[in-house]
Amino acid sequence: MILKAKFRFNRPIDTSKDFISTKDAFTVTIFGKEYSFDFLNYYGNVKKEDPAILEYEGTDLDTDAFPDSAELVRYAEYIDTLNECSLDTGDNTLYLLEVLEFTLIRNDGSVCLRDDGSVCIGAEILEDFNFRHMLKMADELPQEGLSVDGDTILKDQLDELFDEDYTGIYAEIIGIWKEARTDREKTFVKKMFETFTGISLKDYLEKCITTIAEEKHNER
């Protein structure tokens, strides 16, 4: 089994002093069971066009350290979650931000594909991993005693947004609501809206109706 991947770090990688290694590096879920795996050999290349990106190639599964990983050869196309990518830099100023590509290839050169022809770890799985990875990092950041934290950064972002044209925001909010397919998703949309605005979505819609109707009536 071969892994070809691209990892984006928070800053350019300095090949003269930065050293990136793997330790119990990767974990995926297949049929509800977690599989950890790593490789005996690893080659890394820093992209010239963007030195924050590491091109990784691992070969020869370490089945002595991870006996169950031998099953990846048979079941890789059924991976449903990427759980862990542990890349050790030995430097807290250099850390993984996101996984851009993660392709498993059998030793005969065939890419592990799903029944529909897509790669076994595609965009949806990577997006899910990257969000969970960033959320974990954000939760672990020390914020006490600093002049900035998650709240102040969010306020700055909202202030910047509100300095721009509001046109289209209402339609976007309603569009998100309409795209919610389950009651659970709709509840999340409502809770997030209220968190950001201080008013429930229902009360906001009522306010829109009464205010716009009153304005229209006054124009007559």
Q: Say if residue 112's pLDDT is above 80.
A: yes
Task: Give CA–CA dist 36/84, Å, rounded.
Answer: 8
pLDDT, tens only, 9-29: 999 999 999 999 987 689 999
Same domain, 207 and 167: yes
Q: Say if residue 184's pLDDT is above 70.
A: yes
Same domain, 119 and 184: no
Mean pLDDT within 149-175 = 75
pLDDT, tens only, 51-89: 999 999 999 999 999 999 999 988 999 999 999 999 999
pLDDT-derived band at 207, boundaries 50, 70, 90: confident
CA angle 125–76–30, rounded 5-degree value: 65
CA distances from 145 to 138, 148, 149 (A): 16, 9, 9
In this structure, what DSSP letter does residue 5 have?
Answer: E
Residue 145 resides in a domain: no
**Residue range of the domain that includes 213:** 150-218
Same domain, 126 and 156: no
Number of domains in the chain: 2
Residue 67 resides in a domain: yes
pLDDT, tens only, 30-45: 999 999 999 999 999 9
Report which secondary-structure segment, H or E, holds 85. strand 79-88
DSSP string, 152-186: HHHHHHHHHHHTS--TTHHHHHHHHHHH--SHHHH
Same domain, 103 and 190: no
- The residue among 26 and 216 whose pLDDT is bigger is 26
Residue 71 resides in a domain: yes
- The residue among 45 and 92 whose pLDDT is bigger is 45
Same domain, 165 and 90: no
Same domain, 7 and 69: yes
Mean pLDDT within 181-207 = 87
Same domain, 53 and 22: yes
User: Whose structure tokens read 């002049």?
Assistant: 147
Mean pLDDT within 176-199 = 88
**Dihedral angle, C-alpha 143, 7, 157, 186, nearest 10 °:** -100
Query: Six-digit token pair at 7?
Result: 């990892």
Residue 22 resides in a domain: yes
